[in-house]
């Protein structure tokens, strides 16, 4: 994606009276024509950061550059930035057409020209027939599309989306994801998307910034974030992860040797994580594989043993909850390949199993 | 299902509405009927009415027996009505101008501070209307606060004639009824989603555009309620015109009051009250009909 | 249960409202607001053992309406002289033969057998006074004893005039100035009154019957229609304020004690009237309210400042003018004049 930097956020801090610091020195860069996502649990500061970019809040310190120019002193109406609000914030007293034409008109377009452009905008978003209605007469999904059309009508440099899909039901949310992505590709407008839904973030984004407690924990492409989480928080927040406590005992050929609590020693890809001392070894459930103790020779190096505590059938996959000798829990997810209604679990509850942990899938993280 | 309904609503609707109807009948309809009846009777020379039909009271609005006893078209009472309506409209406008920004600012405050600010807005309410109005005498008269301060600051050499002007009446009326305007507007604004204002700012609307295109239309219900609640008492006001206007011009309120006292013409007083009521209802009806159609949609 | 309680409440309320009727050893007095000396009542109660219950009103119209509706149950009322004929005509007063009462001879000859009650069969005077105007002689040095300076003010007083805000009093004064009879039914003369008052209006700062003293003392107006008793209070605070006795005629009023026809305690009422006819008691009332009682012997008991007050001693030879109860036609003309002034 190597586009030029469009938005540069440098050391932004913000706190609200009587509350913990909302933003504690956030720096990041959003590139031109990028679908950039701010991901984090509620209260992590992602919405505050978005509001600072939009101009609704002023940072206590730090700066926000848009195409190299500090926009912090500008009020919202002077920033070439538009927002899709969480609950859409459509003007209830204006028709759909008037809502979409509002920004154009405020920017000085003649009322008739604004209406014409707005009408075209509605046509392209398949809302043409709803122009004369009031927002309250539309369904949630339609309101969502109006909010998007209204924000895009002004052709902003950056479009900010504040959890725009959270009010929709699951099915509609999936459809809208695809549509948002399509719109972003076609309009070539930079999107900054705020969400707490990691699936959404992974599915849509070019890059994701994971935030927690007012700080950015990791920035990267979805696969990078998923496969190479930089810390325990990121690993835990995105997808499911097993955390196994251990101790680094050495390092050879770019692999760390880690002694797990249960007595087994595993090799772990060194990456940019911890290099010594007490660590947590992380592995995704679908990256581990279970074997019966009989056939372990193939990968003798990274083997742990344990006992199946629980089996959960999830349709496409089956999850085995395994307890290791030191009491640590290890979830292993296997895809169910056998169709035709003759599914049977490979292992039984209480059965002794071996789990192989491929060394490239393991990460050693700070405890 | 049917049974439980019977248990819950033992009284038929027309009967369960009984108490409300009785109150309306007793306190509203009955006095109005008396006023209507009086307006169609003859005046008793000693005050009161004589039980004989006469439409004289209504004829008097437009036609006056001239100095020689002939009926002639006369605009005096129409002028008094027009003046009272104008004054009430001006007071309403002034109230709106002062109350809207105040309500807007209060609604934009953090919730814990709003209570105190609302309390401050209603403080004038706690004093008697006469006292409230008399305060303006103390402020506006030649030796009053305004003139004393202005001359102490060297702005003016001799006292400005502030008292006994239409401006003084307006100030008194607007001050007296400000809470009637501010509270319903606040209630309307407080209910609206404040993010709509942000959305407008985000869509390139300046402060004023946001105010007039978004906040004002959204508070329209409150504005309408406030205007009605200021306009109607202003229309019947006689304390402010007498005290601050120096009683130089008759207002509807004083006219009606006079008919029941020294002029001893109860039928004319009743007729004036009735015509006033009809005029107010007409204005309200026109207003609601205009604004109502749009409002019904959202 | 609730209903019964409500009923009990209603009965109690009705009983309370009806209380004046049938009570013994009581005197129900209905007088103008702030017009009854408290010491006088206490003294009467102590002397006679009769309990006095005071209720107040603020206009003759209210009094008339109350008596006409049959409500009240009052034993003594205090109508103004111009309302006495109306009350008589409506048959609302009872004969008390005041002229036979002990102490009647104390009443000054000038106030005996007045036109509204020849032979004093129904009334005795309570308080009497005049309606004229007060002038700040510090601002105007000329002769103040003419209505001319009020209606056609000299340069010093232009724009500095205060008038009452009641049509009958203002128009009565204008009629007196023009030398026409009061309660005028002559439309040509009333037209002249209108012209006079319309021409006067630009010189009038305020039409208001309340707060007169305040406006005079603060200098807001330099001349103001006023009652003689009020003028004393204004002069107390600003010695240059003088009360005028216009040569065209001094409009005089008398408030009278009278007994309603349906009084429940007429004997107590008569005892009170006889009590009031005693000079020291009449003086006590004058000392409180600041008006003359018409009792010739009361002077000796007046406070020093009242005794010497020029506002309380109408100059000998002054022409007194009494307003009377006007006809419907006269009132209609008054109303017309007033509307034209204030339109």
Of B47, B79, B242, nearest to C64 by CB-CB distance is: B47
Per-residue DSSP letter, C326: P
Q: How do the domains of chain A map onto residue ranges?
A: 5-234, 241-366
Task: Give the separation between CA A40 and CA A29, rounded to whole angstroms.
Answer: 17
Neighbours of chain C (3+ CB pairs under 8 A): B
Reported as a pLDDT band with limits 50, 70 and 90, residue B161 is confident
* Three-state SS at B55: coil
- Mean pLDDT of the residues in chain B: 85
Selection from A184, B45, B4, B163 nearest residue C335 by Cα: B45
List of chain C residues whose C-beta atoms are within 8 Å of the C-beta of residue B63: none
Selection from A224, A219, A221 nearest residue A209 by Cα: A219
Neighbours of chain A (3+ CB pairs under 8 A): B
Fold of the domain spanning B87-251: MetI-like fold (1.10.3720)
Reported as a pLDDT band with limits 50, 70 and 90, residue B124 is confident
Longest dimension (CA), chain C: 77
Reported as a pLDDT band with limits 50, 70 and 90, residue B11 is low
Domain A241-366 sits in CATH at 2.40.50.100
**For residue B130, is pLDDT > 90?**
no
Mean pLDDT of C331-340: 90
Residues whose CB falls within 8 Å of the CB of residue B225, separated by 6 or more in sequence, listed in order: B184, B188
**For residue C307, is pLDDT > 90?**
no
pLDDT for residue B13: 66
* Three-state SS at B203: coil
The better pLDDT of the pair B286, C174 is held by C174
Q: Please, what are the domains in chain C?
A: 26-127+254-312 (3.40.190.10), 129-251+316-342 (3.40.190.10)
Q: For the segment C42-79, what is each residue's pLDDT rounded down to a tens digit? A: 999 999 999 999 999 988 888 998 998 887 789 999 99
Cβ of B250 within 8 Å of Cβ of C340? The answer is no
List of chain C residues whose C-beta atoms are within 8 Å of the C-beta of residue B164: 205-206
Residue B215 at interface with chain A, using a CB cutoff of 8 Å? no
Burial of A234 (0-12, 13-18, 19+ CB in 10 A): buried
Fold of the domain spanning A5-234: Rossmann fold (3.40.50)
| Percentage, residues of chain A above pLDDT 70 | 95
- Which of C93, C220, C325 to mutate to probe the B interface, most B CBs <10 Å? C220
Cβ of B246 within 8 Å of Cβ of C205? The answer is yes
Task: Give the separation between CA A106 and CA B207, rounded to whole angstroms.
Answer: 11
Burial of B281 (0-12, 13-18, 19+ CB in 10 A): exposed
Helix axes C38-48, C279-289, angle to 10 degrees: 150
Q: How do the domains of chain B map onto residue ranges?
A: 87-251
Which tokens is B280 given?
């107010």
Question: What secondary structure does DSSP assign to C158-224, as a single string?
Answer: TT-EEE-S-HHHHHHHHHHHHTPPSS---HHHHHHHHHHHHHHGGGEEEE-SSSHHHHHHHTS-SEE
Mean pLDDT of B178-204: 92
Question: What secondary structure does DSSP assign to C22-89, as a single string?
Answer: T-SSEEEEEEETT-S-HHHHHHHHHHH-PEEEEEEES-HHHHHHHHHTT----SEE--BGGGHHHHHH
Number of H helices, E strands in chain A: 8, 20
Cβ of C335 within 8 Å of Cβ of B242? The answer is no
Mean pLDDT of B54-69: 77
Mean pLDDT of A263-287: 82
Cβ of B46 within 8 Å of Cβ of C89? The answer is yes
Task: Give the separation between CA B142 and CA C333, rounded to whole angstroms.
Answer: 36
- How many Å separate Cα A46 from the centre of its chain? 11
**For residue A142, is pLDDT > 80?**
yes
- Identify any residues that bridge with A161 across adjacent strands, giving them in sequence order: A84, A193
Q: For the segment B171-185, what is each residue's pLDDT rounded down to a tens digit? A: 999 999 999 999 999
């Amino acid at each position: 994606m190597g586009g030029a930097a469009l938005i540069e956020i440098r050391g932004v801090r913000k706190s609200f009276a009587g509350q913990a610091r909302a933003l504690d020195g956030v720096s990041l860069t959003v590139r031109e024509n990028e679908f950039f996502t701010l991901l984090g649990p509620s209260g992590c500061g992602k919405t505050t950061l978005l509001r600072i970019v939009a101009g609704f809040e002023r940072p206590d310190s730090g700066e926000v550059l848009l195409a190299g120019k500090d926009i912090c002193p500008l009020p919202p109406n002077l920033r070439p930035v538009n927002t899709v609000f969480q609950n859409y914030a459509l003007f209830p007293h204006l028709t759909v057409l008037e809502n979409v034409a509002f920004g154009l008109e405020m920017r000085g377009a003649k009322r008739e020209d604004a209406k014409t452009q707005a009408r075209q905008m509605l046509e392209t978003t398949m809302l043409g027939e709803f122009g004369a209605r009031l927002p309250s007469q539309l369904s949630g999904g339609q309101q969502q599309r109006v909010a998007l059309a209204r924000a895009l009508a002004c052709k902003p440099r950056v479009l900010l989306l504040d959890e725009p899909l959270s009010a929709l039901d699951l099915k509609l949310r999936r459809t809208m994801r695809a549509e948002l992505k399509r719109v972003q590709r076609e309009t070539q407008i930079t999107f900054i998307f705020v969400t707490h839904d990691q699936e959404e973030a992974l599915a849509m984004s070019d890059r994701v910034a994971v935030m927690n407690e007012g700080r950015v924990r990791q920035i990267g492409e979805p696969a990078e974030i998923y496969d190479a989480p930089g810390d325990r928080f990121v690993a835990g927040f995105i997808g499911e992860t097993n955390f196994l406590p251990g101790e680094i005992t050495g390092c050879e050929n770019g692999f760390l040797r880690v002694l797990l609590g249960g007595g087994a020693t595993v090799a772990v890809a060194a990456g940019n994580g911890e290099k010594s001392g007490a660590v947590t070894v992380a592995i995704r459930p679908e990256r581990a594989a279970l074997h019966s103790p009989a056939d372990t020779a193939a990968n003798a190096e990274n083997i742990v043993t344990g006992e199946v505590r629980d089996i959960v059938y999830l349709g496409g996959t089956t999850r085995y909850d395994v307890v290791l000798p030191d009491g640590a829990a290890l979830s292993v997810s296997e895809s169910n390949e056998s169709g035709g209604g003759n599914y049977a679990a490979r292992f039984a509850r209480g059965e002794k199993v071996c789990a192989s942990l491929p060394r490239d899938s393991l990460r050693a993280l700070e405890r | 299902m049917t049974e439980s309904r019977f248990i819950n609503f033992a009284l038929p609707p027309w009967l369960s509405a009984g108490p409300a109807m009785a109150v309306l009948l007793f306190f509203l309809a009955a006095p109005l009927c008396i006023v209507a009846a009086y307006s169609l009777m003859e005046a008793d020379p000693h005050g009161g009415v004589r039980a004989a039909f006469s439409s004289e009271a209504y004829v008097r609005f437009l036609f006056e027996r001239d100095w020689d006893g002939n009926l002639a078209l006369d605009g005096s009472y129409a002028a008094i009505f027009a003046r009272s309506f104008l004054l009430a409209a001006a007071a309403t406008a002034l109230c709106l101008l002062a109350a809207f920004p105040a309500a807007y600012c209060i609604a934009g405050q953090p919730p814990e501070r709003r209570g105190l600010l609302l309390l401050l807005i209603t403080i004038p309410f706690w004093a008697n209307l006469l006292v409230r109005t008399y305060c303006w005498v103390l402020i506006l008269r030649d030796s009053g606060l305004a003139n004393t301060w202005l001359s102490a600051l060297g702005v003016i050499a001799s006292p400005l004639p502030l008292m006994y002007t239409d401006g003084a009446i307006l100030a008194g009326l607007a001050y007296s009824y400000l809470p009637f305007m501010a509270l319903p507007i606040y209630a309307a604004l407080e209910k609206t989603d404040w993010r709509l204002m942000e959305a407008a700012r985000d869509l390139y609307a300046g402060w004023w555009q946001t105010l007039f295109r978004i906040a004002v239309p959204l508070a329209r219900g409150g504005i309408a309620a406030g205007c009605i609640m200021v306009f109607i008492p202003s229309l019947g006001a006689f304390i402010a015109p007498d005290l601050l206007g120096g009683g130089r011009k008759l207002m509807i309120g004083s006219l009606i009051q006079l008919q029941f006292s020294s002029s001893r013409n109860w039928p004319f007083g009743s007729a004036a009250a009735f015509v006033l009521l009809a005029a107010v209802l007409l204005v309200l009806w026109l207003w609601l009909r205009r604004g109502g159609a749009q409002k019904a949609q959202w | 249960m609730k209903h019964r309680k409500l009923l009990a409440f209603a009965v109690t309320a009705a009983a309370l409202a009806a209380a004046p009727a049938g009570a013994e050893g009581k005197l129900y007095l209905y007088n103008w607001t702030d017009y009854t000396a408290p010491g006088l009542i206490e003294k009467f109660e102590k002397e006679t053992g009769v309990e006095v219950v005071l209720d107040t009103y603020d206009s003759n119209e209210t009094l008339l309406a109350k008596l006409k509706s049959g409500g009240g149950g009052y034993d003594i009322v205090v109508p103004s002289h111009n309302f006495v004929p109306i009350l008589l005509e409506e048959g609302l007063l009872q004969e008390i033969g005041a002229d036979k009462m002990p102490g009647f001879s104390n009443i000054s000859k000038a106030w005996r057998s007045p036109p509204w009650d020849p032979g004093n069969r129904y009334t005795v005077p309570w308080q009497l006074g005049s309606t004229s105007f007060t002038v700040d002689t510090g601002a105007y040095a000329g002769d103040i004893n003419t209505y001319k300076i009020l209606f056609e003010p000299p340069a010093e007083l232009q724009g500095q005039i205060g008038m009452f805000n009641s049509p009958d009093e203002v128009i009565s004064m204008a009629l007196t100035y023009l030398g026409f009879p009061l309660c005028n039914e002559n439309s040509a003369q009333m037209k002249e009154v209108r012209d006079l008052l319309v021409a006067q209006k630009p010189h009038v700062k305020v039409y208001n019957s309340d707060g007169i003293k305040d406006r005079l003392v603060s200098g807001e107006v330099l001349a103001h229609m006023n009652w003689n008793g009020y003028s004393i209070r204004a002069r107390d605070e600003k010695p240059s304020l003088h009360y005028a006795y216009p040569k065209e005629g001094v409009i005089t009023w008398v408030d009278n004690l009278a007994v309603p026809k349906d009084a429940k305690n007429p004997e107590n009422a008569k005892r009170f009237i006889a009590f009031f006819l005693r000079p020291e008691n009449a003086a006590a009332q004058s000392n409180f309210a600041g008006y003359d009682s018409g009792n010739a012997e009361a002077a000796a008991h007046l406070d020093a400042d009242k005794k010497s007050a020029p506002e309380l001693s109408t100059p000998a030879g002054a022409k007194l003018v009494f307003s009377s109860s006007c006809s419907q036609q006269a009132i209609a003309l008054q109303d017309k004049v007033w509307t034209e002034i204030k339109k």
